[in-house]
């Protein structure tokens, strides 16, 4: 009786070596969960979507704008293999609407390239860019390729909605119309083709945003410009508190 009781007592206490060798409960965090989810879906990176508006030099040639962005995409693709850019660029007479889908690093490099041109060149053809919204970790792409289309014919509107609607209402209309247009292109444009072409004003005139909304968003101070966005992106997350730099260090009881 005494021997068995003594055996049970010793079994309750594990040696240090045994505690090390014991299997530990796996601990993870939300980032690991998202990365594992992407791995199971055969994705190499988290996918993000960004909506941009900007002013351009009047009557810019489609070829010049397309060449600029294609060179940027190719340059980034050399450093970030497999992180292709998809989206849609609509060229209005004096402004653009740009939707981009790719990895976080790729979108960061695209914005950085724009900032470098804006600072180094006196009259860069893209000016006053604003970030309307950024969607993180989207489940799938809206666009199979990167398309570019020129809005040739002016679209007639009865009134200027920016004068009668609030900013929230304008943004709601902006997002609804752009998503409807994206779904229309997704359903009608075949993979491998050049895209919707320059006759969207004839194919889907009801889905095109008036240029007055694009200009209104470009002039709105409520939206972030790429420079502010990148400065916030590069800002360290961990902030040093005043108590951490006081000398002598405060004692804790």
* Architecture in CATH for domain 45-230: 2-Layer Sandwich (3.30)
Contact in structure between 149 and 88 (CB atoms under 8 Å): yes
pLDDT in tens, 7-58: 454 454 555 555 544 555 456 667 666 666 655 554 567 899 999 999 998 8
108 vs 203: CA distance, rounded Å: 33
State the average pLDDT over residues 194-198: 79
pLDDT over 90 at 5, yes or no:
no
Residues 6+ apart with CB under 8 A from 42: none
pLDDT band at 119 (very low <50, low <70, confident <90, very high): confident
Per residue in 59-97, pLDDT (tens digit) is 788 899 999 999 999 999 888 777 789 999 999 999 999
Please compute the mean of the pLDDT values over residues 197-225 and round it to a whole number. 89
CA distance 190 to 207: 19
Q: pLDDT digits over 141-157, tens only? A: 889 899 999 987 665 55
Say yes or no to pLDDT of 207 above 80: yes
* Predicted pLDDT at 24: 53
DSSP-assigned beta bridge partners for residue 131: 52, 224
Closest CA to 97 of 142, 64, 56: 56
Band the pLDDT of 176: cuts 50, 70, 90: very high
Which pLDDT value is given to residue 90?
A: 95
| pLDDT higher than threshold 50 for residue 199 | yes
DSSP for 74-110 reads: HHHHHHSTT---EEEEEE-SSEEEEEEEE-HHHHHHH
- The mean of the pLDDT values for the chain is 80
């Amino acid at each position: 009786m005494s021997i068995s009781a003594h055996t049970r007592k010793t079994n309750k206490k594990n040696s240090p070596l045994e505690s090390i060798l014991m299997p530990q409960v796996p601990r993870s965090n939300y980032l690991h969960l998202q990365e594992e989810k992407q791995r199971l879906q055969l994705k190499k990176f988290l996918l993000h979507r960004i909506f941009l508006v900007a002013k351009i030099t009047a009557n810019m040639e489609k070829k010049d704008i397309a060449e600029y962005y294609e060179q940027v995409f190719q340059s980034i693709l050399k450093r970030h293999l497999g992180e292709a850019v998809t989206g849609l660029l609509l060229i209005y007479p004096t402004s653009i609407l740009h939707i981009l889908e790719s990895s976080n690093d790729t979108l960061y490099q695209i914005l950085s390239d724009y900032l470098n041109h804006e600072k180094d060149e006196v009259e860069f053809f893209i000016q006053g860019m604003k970030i309307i919204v950024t969607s993180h970790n989207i489940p799938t792409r809206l666009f199979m390729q990167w398309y570019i289309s020129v809005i040739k014919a002016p679209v007639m509107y009865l009134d200027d909605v920016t004068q009668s609607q609030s900013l929230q209402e304008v943004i709601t209309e902006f997002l609804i119309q752009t998503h409807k247009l994206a779904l229309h292109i997704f359903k009608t444009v075949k993979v491998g083709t050049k895209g919707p072409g320059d006759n969207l004003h004839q194919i889907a005139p009801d889905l095109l945003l008036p240029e007055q909304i694009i200009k209104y968003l470009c002039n709105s101070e409520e939206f972030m410009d790429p420079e502010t966005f990148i400065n916030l992106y590069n800002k360290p997350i961990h902030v040093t508190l005043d108590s951490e730099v006081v000398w002598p260090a405060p004692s804790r009881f």
